[in-house]
Structure 1
Amino acid sequence: MALLPGGYFVEIQELKALIKESVREVIREERLSLCQALIPYVSDEEQQEIEAEFGLPDDDEDEWVHRIGARGDIYK
């Protein structure tokens, strides 16, 4: 058992699990912040040029499922 501030006792395994989950949450948040920082800004004019050249994406979400893996790989 470990004594936490406020006089609470918690099992060591519970404490490890809490710490592990907290670290995962922080890493997830920081990774999202990094991804957002690395995505370049696109002006409205540039976006219109892109849409004119490549068209708009289909609304059929069932056709493509995007998932980002642990290493940042994108799977379709």
Structure 2
Amino acid sequence: METQDLKELIRDTIRTVLREERLTLWLALLPRVSNREMKAIETEFGKPTDYQTEEALDMTDWVRNGD
């Protein structure tokens, strides 16, 4: 294997591991909600499927790029 190929393999491997670790951390920090709490939330705010598409703003690019 060429040096450049090894560098790319290492970089890709590190990115994959960091992505997995970040997901694990995110899941660990995500607060748990009981069924009772979830029902109260749905009663007060409704379900996501109840909202009209035009009421929502897609923030995907903003979150990814910081724009």
Report TM bin, short chain: 0.7 to 0.9
Alignment partner, residue 13 of structure 1? 4
Q: Larger % of strand: which?
A: 1
In the superposition, the TM-score normalised over structure 2's length comes to 0.76
Mean Cα deviation higher: 51-60 or 25-34: 51-60
Uncovered stretches (5+) of structure 1, i.e. residues with no partner = 1-9
Q: Which of the pair has the greater relative contact order for Cα pairs under 8 Å at 6+ separation?
A: 1
Residues 65, 32 of structure 1: CA spacing in aligned structure 2 closer, same or farther, 3 A cutoff? Answer: same
In the superposition, the TM-score normalised over structure 1's length comes to 0.68
Uncovered stretches (5+) of structure 2, i.e. residues with no partner = none
Structure number with greater Rg is 1
Amino acid of the structure 1 residue aligned with 2:48: P
Identical-pair percentage: 43
- Counting only pairs closer than 5 Å after superposition, residues 1-76 of structure 1 correspond to structure 2 as 10-58=1-49, 64-67=57-60, 68-69=63-64
Residues 9-66 of structure 1, C-alpha deviations (whole Å, 9 max, x = no match): x100000000000000000000000111111000000000000011111276795545
Question: Which 4+ runs in 1 deviate beyond 6 A?
Answer: 59-62
Amino acid of the structure 2 residue aligned with 1:69: R
Q: Could you tell me how far apart the structure 2 residues matched to 1:65 and 1:42 are?
A: 25
